[in-house]
Amino acid sequence: MYFKDIIGLNEIKKHLIDSVQKGFVPHARMLYGAEGVGKLPLAIAYARYLNCINPGEHDSCGKCSSCSKFDKLAHPDLHFAFPMVQKRAEKKMVCDDYLPEWRTFLSENKYFNLSQWLQYIDAKNSQGLIYAQESEEIVRKLNLKGYEAKYKIMIVWLPEKMNLECANKLLKLIEEPPVLTVFLLISEDIKKVIPTIQSRCQPIFIRSIESSEMIAALRNNYSLTQSDAHSVAHIANGSYTKAIENIESSDESRLLLNLFNRMMSASYSKKIKKIKEVSDELSKIGREIQKSFLIYSLRMFREFFMNNFNVPELVYLNTDEAQLGHQYSVAIHENNIEILEKEFSLAYKQIEQNGNARIIFLDLCLKLTMLIK
């Protein structure tokens, strides 16, 4: 990945390039911002530029031996840590055991989310984590002598998914890494990254993709009309990952919409049999999908609430979601929107803490029935 491959963010690209040209290379940066705005490809492009033998004014050369290895994400001084699931039967216990899948996935997807990655590695019901054992691997690799590049680089995707033991073991290494070692941490929820790690990194906020930047990319990559590209960009609200999902109507997007529709229909019916059926189905899908569903529900409630104000430019719903909005928006109002957000956010935390999904979703659906009566 090169800087040229990243949609928009020109001021951030310039800042990173200028810092390298001026010899200012912090030992640890935290790139944080919303999902789907290009933080990970930006980190990889920056890592490439740091080790490019003949860097240009605006990007890496693309021709040197370092760039050739970066093209395959196989540079010996480039390391990754990312959420994964341990599979003892397949002897997959640390991130390096997933490197072939990770490299293939990255080569096929520049913009993606955690759910898509976990689906790719067949995580099933498991939540993606960076386990305690990973810290030992990171310490071991970074204490080895560099192979050929100027910098050894460790990219940690989603440090908020670090096991607490793993995070604590890395504190000293992040604060005082070996000479010419760079940590790049990529966060989508910086509030969940432990403060002691945050304090050891230079933070860089990565803004959402501007509408004009998104429209240009969509028209170039998907041959959309100006009108269609504008519509998709509006709904995506700065996230290229969401834009891709909207265009390609991913299986997960359809699943979330269907489950949300069924939950709302069952709650409206006030029939306990239907409510129990929906809550049982929600309890049986994987933990990551359950969390995605709860986040999706929160978004839908917010959009339905805004829909009541009849200001279309403030509503971010695709065609199928808008149809549901016409049906259910009246049920989401100032008397219940805050309670709904509180209850669904609480359910998210309970699922994240491996609570009993059957009890959590039955309780949630019953509360929903009472709140939208």
Of residues 128, 109, 117, the one with CA closest to residue 240:
109
Has residue 179 got a pLDDT over 80?
A: yes
Quote the pLDDT of residue 142.
93
Domain boundary among 147, 175, 205: 205
Whether residue 257 contacts residue 321, with contact meaning beta carbons closer than 8 Å, is answered with: yes
| Residue range 111-123: mean pLDDT, rounded | 92
Region of poorest pLDDT, from 49-58, 85-94, 313-322: 313-322
145 and 27, same structural domain?
yes
Cα separation, 283 vs 347, in Å, equals 12
173 and 41, same structural domain?
yes
Higher pLDDT, residue 287 or 185: 185
Quote the pLDDT of residue 129.
94
Residue 204 DSSP SS3: strand
**26-40 pLDDT, tens per residue?**
999 999 999 999 999
21 and 122, same structural domain?
yes
270 and 197, same structural domain?
no
Q: pLDDT class for 238, splitting at 50, 70, 90? A: very high
**60-74 pLDDT, tens per residue?**
999 999 999 999 999
278 and 336, same structural domain?
yes
253 sits in which H/E element = helix 251-269
In whole numbers, what is the pLDDT of the chain averaged over residues?
93
| Residue range 325-346: mean pLDDT, rounded | 94
205 DSSP assignment? E
CATH code of 62's domain: 3.40.50.300
| Residue range 269-277: mean pLDDT, rounded | 93
Q: pLDDT class for 208, splitting at 50, 70, 90? A: very high
Residues in the chain: 373
Residue 198 inside a domain? The answer is yes
326 and 197, same structural domain?
no
Residue 362 inside a domain? The answer is yes
State CA 351 to chain mean position distance. 18
Q: pLDDT class for 250, splitting at 50, 70, 90? A: low
Residue 216 inside a domain? The answer is no
28 and 156, same structural domain?
yes
CATH code of 351's domain: 1.20.272.10
Residue 233 inside a domain? The answer is no
Whether residue 33 contacts residue 160, with contact meaning beta carbons closer than 8 Å, is answered with: no
Three-state helix/strand/coil letters over 25-50? CCCEEEEECCCCCCHHHHHHHHHHHH
Owning domain of residue 45: 3-205
Residue 337 inside a domain? The answer is yes
Residue 125 DSSP SS3: coil
Q: Give the number of domains in the chain.
A: 2
Cα separation, 139 vs 135, in Å, equals 6
Quote the pLDDT of residue 316.
86
Of residues 212, 5, 3, the one with CA closest to residue 110:
5
Residue 213 inside a domain? The answer is no
158 and 36, same structural domain?
yes
Q: pLDDT class for 287, splitting at 50, 70, 90? A: confident
Whether residue 94 contacts residue 80, with contact meaning beta carbons closer than 8 Å, is answered with: no
153 and 47, same structural domain?
yes
Cα separation, 142 vs 371, in Å, equals 53
Each residue of 108-134: b (16+ CB within 10 Å) or e? ebbbbbbbbbbbbbebeebbbbbbeeb
273 and 199, same structural domain?
no
| Residue range 258-272: mean pLDDT, rounded | 93
Has residue 338 got a pLDDT over 70?
A: yes
Supply the DSSP string of 154-184, one letter for each residue.
Answer: EEEE-GGGB-HHHHHHHHHHHHSPPTTEEEE
Cα separation, 289 vs 295, in Å, equals 10
136 sits in which H/E element = helix 132-142
Quote the pLDDT of residue 183.
97
Has residue 310 got a pLDDT over 90?
A: no
Quote the pLDDT of residue 147.
79
Of residues 205, 158, 155, the one with CA closest to residue 31:
205
202 sits in which H/E element = strand 202-205
Residue 215 inside a domain? The answer is no
174 and 91, same structural domain?
yes
269 and 185, same structural domain?
no
Residue 7 inside a domain? The answer is yes
Quote the pLDDT of residue 57.
94
